[in-house]
Amino acid sequence: MYASSRILRLGALALGLAVGLPAVASAQDLPPAQQIIDRYVEAIGGRDAALASVSTRTVGSFSMPAMGVEGDLVVLTGENQEMYTKVTIPGLGEMQSGYTGEVGWSMDPMTGPRLLDGLEFEAMREQSNDLYAVRDASLFTSFETVGEAEYDGEACWEVAYVFTSGRESTECYSKDSGLLLAMVSAQESPMGSMDMVTRLSDYQRFGDLMVPTTMRQSAMGQEQMMRIESIEFGTVEASELQPPAAIMTLINSGG
């Protein structure tokens, strides 16, 4: 589990069940993808605000409602694309993940400490890139508007992305507000690839940015929820972004 650029990296942490409707517009009726992206960037506060180089500390909650599981969530981002995420669940322990700017890692009671590789690493690297917050064209080999859909009764435009790594994802942007409502992609994990739908809602302003404070994710029949309670700027120390000792041992030993 990991986040996307600055506060907006949190969009990649989200979870949710949503059903996209079949495309009904013809190709000539679809707005250009770059136009949709530009409107989204403006809706969240603008390119300068989204790319501001400042650390963030996000505090919230994590839950799996169907299983009665609840825990605390902390997401830290640094000024150089570093990231650290920790979910603490009573009776289960801590689930941690992070990105140093070069190395992606994960550690939890079930799988233990490990370094990420392959498409799992590429996903973390790409979503940790500051430019992902504004869907900068340099991150993709292609992006295009492919249709329309509806999430929670709100109509949206679907934009399909192909990352430079070869990963693919589809995102749906509200026709009304321009904000991102949902993301659909294949998520890599130790168990293999799984289809994941992420739904974002309850946008609120933190500083100069609009941020989704409720994120729901559905994969393999499991649903999870993340809620943001507070975001602080410029309060993260470099030491807080350092991987745990067990991860450092793997890094120093070459994995």
At residue 29, the pLDDT reads 86
Residues in the chain: 255
At residue 12, the pLDDT reads 45
pLDDT in tens, 2-60: 333 444 445 444 333 233 334 445 555 899 999 999 999 999 999 999 998 789 999 99
Residue with tokens 């498409």: 119
Q: How far is CA 159 from its chain centroid? A: 16
Query: 12 and 188 in contact (C-beta within 8 Å)?
Result: no
At residue 136, the pLDDT reads 97
> Can you list the residues of the chain whose pLDDT is less than 70?
1-28, 188-194, 255
Half-sphere exposure of 235 (CA within 13 A, CB side): 10
At residue 66, the pLDDT reads 83
Dihedral (Cα; 174, 175, 178, 183), 10-degree rounding: 30
Predicted TM-score of the model (pTM): 0.84
Q: Which helix (H) or strand (E) holds 33?
A: helix 33-44
Of 118, 72, 74, whose CA–CA distance to 98 is shortest?
74
Question: What residue spans define the domains of the chain?
Answer: 6-252
At residue 16, the pLDDT reads 30
At residue 27, the pLDDT reads 56
At residue 15, the pLDDT reads 34
At residue 190, the pLDDT reads 59
Assigned CATH for 6-252: 2.50.20.10
Q: How far is the C-alpha of 188 from the C-alpha of 120, rounded, in Å?
A: 5
